[in-house]
Amino acid sequence: MTYQLTAPLLDACVIGVVAAGDTYGYTLTQKVQEVVDISESTLYPVLRRLQKSGLLTTYDQPFEGRNRRYYSITEDGKKQLDFYKAEWEVYKNNIDKLLGGASNE
């Protein structure tokens, strides 16, 4: 991948995926990996941090005789996601302007 993913953008992506439906560590990593080049172990600290800051919560559900921990979004998480989306929109448009050469209008 040519462009680097920064920490806040990765946070935003993770919250975005969880907002689309409760999910667990493995599928979450898979979904992000489809788009961004991250290692299998990248998301654990991120999930911990988002959980600590109250943007995500977890609950456990039995699966094939073992436990599976699901992550779901909180009200604070939804607000934060809206903020990230708005910020991204601004950033994306500005970059598009520069790339399109429209900055010298």
Partner 1 sequence: MNKTEFLKALEKQLKYLPKEDRDDALNYYSEYIDDMNFAENEDISIRLGKPKDIAKNIISECAEKTIDKHDSEKGAKSTAKIVWLTILIICSSPVTLPIAIALLTIVFTLVLTITVVLLSLGLSALAVIAAGIICSVLSFMLPGFGTKLVALGIGLIIAAVGALLLIITIFLAELFIKLIILICKAIIGKKKEA
4 binding partner 1? (CB under 8 A): no
By CB under 8 A, residue 44 contacts partner 1: yes
Contact call for residue 40 and partner 1 (CB under 8 A): yes
Nearest approach in angstroms of CB 93 to partner 1 is 28
Residue 73 contacts residue 81 (beta carbons within 8 Å): yes
Stretch that binds partner 1, among 14-22, 24-32, 75-83, 85-93 (CB under 8 A): 24-32
- Smallest distance from the beta carbon of 95 to partner 1, in angstroms? 23
Q: CB nearer to partner 1: give 61 or 93.
A: 61
| Strand ranges across the sheet with 56-63 | 23-24, 66-73, 56-63
Residue ranges of alpha helices (H) inside the chain are 7-19, 25-35, 43-52, 75-100
* CB within 8 Å of 52: residues ≥ 6 apart: none
Please select the residue that binds partner 1; options are 23, 42, 57, 72, rule is CB under 8 A. 42
Dist CA 42 CA 20 (whole Å)? 20
- Report the interface residues with partner 1, using CB under 8 A: 24-27, 29, 39-42, 44-45, 47-49, 52, 66-69
